[in-house]
Each structure stands twice: as structure tokens, then as C-alpha cells.
Amino acid sequence: MNPIIQTKIEGQINNNKIMIYMKGTPSMPQCGFSAATIQVFSALGYPFETYDILQDPEIRQGIKEFSNWPTIPQVYVNGEFVGGCDIVMEMHKQGELEPLLKEAMAS
């Protein structure tokens, strides 16, 4: 991976307690998985930052290499990769997501 792209991704992840790489924007998601992920985070009410990977092909590819995860969206909490839509949905269903976010906001 290009070191400049890696540094940019690391900065975004480390400077935002909740960072979501998605297709589109929260108000205009460009795929169902991104829309579903944003819906969960919006419902929980914790502040989060997003990055539209469709606007930046280098980040689009770089984030997949960075996480070693092939799909978008990708969610990071407190600098740690949490997963994509399926994992986020399962964590939410099991009651595991909100405590993680609450802890992130407290740190």
C-alpha cells in the first residue's frame, strides 16, 4: 500500500472515535449495506465520522488492504477494526455494539 494512503487512513481512524468507511454519505448512501450500518449508528446516537470511498479510489482499495477485509462498509471504533455490516448488525442484535461505543466515547 502507498505509505501516504496508509498514513491518511491511520490518521482518520486514530482521530475519530467512530470511523465508518462507506459508499456514499450518511444522507445519500450508495449501497444497502452502508445504509443499514449508518441507520444503526444514527439510531444509537453516538457521534461518528464517515468517509465516502467512492470519491477516492486509492482509499477505496487502501482501506481493504489496511484491514485485510474485502468489503465496504468498514467500521473502526477507538482505532480498532470492528467489521462490516453483518458484524455490526449482529453485535447490535446481541446488545454488544452500544457498550463498545459508550466505552469509546468515555475514553
31 is in an annotated binding site: yes
What is the Cα 99 distance to its own chain's centre? 17
Per-residue pLDDT at 107:
87
End-to-end alpha-carbon separation of the chain, Å? 30
Domain of residue 11 covers: 3-98
Give the mean pLDDT per block of 10 residues along the chain (107 residues): 95 98 98 98 97 97 96 98 98 97 94
The number of domains in the chain is: 1
**How is residue 29 annotated by DSSP?**
B
- Indicate which CATH number applies to the domain containing 14: 3.40.30.10
- What whole-number distance in Å separates Cα of residue 107 and Cα of residue 105? 6
| 104 belongs to a structural domain | no
- What whole-number distance in Å separates Cα of residue 58 and Cα of residue 91? 29
Give me the phi and psi of 22, to 5 degrees please.
-140, 170
Per-residue pLDDT at 82:
98
Per-residue pLDDT at 1:
85
Per-residue pLDDT at 79:
96
